[in-house]
Amino acid sequence: MIRKDMFFALIIIVAWGFNFIVMRWGLDELTPMMLGGLRFLVIGMIGCFFFSRPKTPLLWCIGYALSLNFGQFAFLFSAMSFGMPAGLASLVLQSQAIFTLLFAVLLLKETVRPYQVLAIGVAIGGLAVIGFDNDDSTMTALGFGLTLAAGSSWALGNIFTKIISRKGYDANLNLIVWSSWVPAIPFFLCAYFIDGSDVMWSNIVNLNLKTMATLAYLSLFATLAGYGLWSYLLSRYPAATVAPLTLGVPVVGLTSAEIFLSETVSTVQWIGILVVLLGLILNTFGGRWLKKVSQRDA
């Protein structure tokens, strides 16, 4: 990568890692469903003026939006409200890589290579270490489980993205922007039935500068700018070069949570974190390493 693009890559890693800290701040002001609904409403309202409507069929847009946008963040915001620390959430959410592989085998009939099976096993082992450690009382089993559910929803969204791309439709920032109108509806419906109309109205009328700054960060910086730069890098470099950048997100998330939220991680959980990262690295680079070994032997 040239120096300018390396700077863009760093912006993405920091923006997406710090994203979890901003989510925590947002949940201090808004309920999970209201935060989700307002986030995607802002993306749709502002983004539609700058991005053209994709030609993707409506049903595919709905499936993509309900899994990647509504499912992922409904579970994630709820998890963080029910005892999932922001730093650990940034790491556990990367379980989407495991679920994506599993869903690709079950739904797309893709084949999994031996190194990917090993990577899944290693990552699951690390997640188990994190999930069953009781030394850190700040993390609850419910929060951990909901974060895994968020990861599985993200993975299902990845499958929709693959199918949409294979059919020759748009699966880029245009789709992200225009599909944001869809999750706002179930988010607000859930807010009505879970929180009640009085709480919804209170969240709206009590919007302050902190809340608006949170929504601006989540909507404009982390989503529009973040995914815009991500699409730019993917258009200039191979996916194998760009994809490993996401490994830096939980590193920023964990570090930022310790600095800004005073979150602590137990020794056992740090071991689990390192094991998960090892599994993710193996999944990302395993094919490349095997190719180099086979070429060297030949």
What domain range includes position 60?
3-99+140-264
Residue scoring higher pLDDT (32 or 100): 32
Q: 14 lies in a domain?
A: yes
When pLDDT is averaged across residues 100-116 and rounded to a whole number, the result is 82
Q: Domain tally for the chain?
A: 1
Q: 91 lies in a domain?
A: yes
Q: 203 lies in a domain?
A: yes
**What pLDDT, on the 0 to 100 scale, is given for residue 102?**
86
Q: 123 lies in a domain?
A: no
Tell me how far apart the alpha carbons of residues 179 and 51 are, in angstroms, rounded to a whole number: 12
Asked if 280 and 119 count as a contact pair (C-beta separation under 8 A), the reply is yes
Q: 297 lies in a domain?
A: no
Q: 61 lies in a domain?
A: yes
Q: Chain-wide mean pLDDT for the chain?
A: 86
110 pLDDT above the threshold of 90: no
Tell me how far apart the alpha carbons of residues 111 and 279 are, in angstroms, rounded to a whole number: 18
pTM of the shown model: 0.86
Q: 209 lies in a domain?
A: yes
When pLDDT is averaged across residues 137-155 and rounded to a whole number, the result is 89
Identify the band that residue 6 occupies on the pLDDT scale cut at 50, 70 and 90.
confident
pLDDT tens, position by position, 70-105: 999 999 999 999 989 998 898 889 888 888 888 888
**What pLDDT, on the 0 to 100 scale, is given for residue 295?**
67
Identify the band that residue 25 occupies on the pLDDT scale cut at 50, 70 and 90.
very high
Tell me how far apart the alpha carbons of residues 22 and 16 are, in angstroms, rounded to a whole number: 10
What residues contact residue 269 under an 8 Å CB cut-off, 6+ apart?
88, 129, 130, 133, 135, 136, 139
Q: 113 lies in a domain?
A: no
Lowest mean pLDDT across 14-18, 45-49, 57-61, 133-137: 133-137
Q: How many C-beta neighbours within 10 Å does residue 23 have?
A: 24
Residue scoring higher pLDDT (170 or 77): 77
When pLDDT is averaged across residues 193-208 and rounded to a whole number, the result is 93
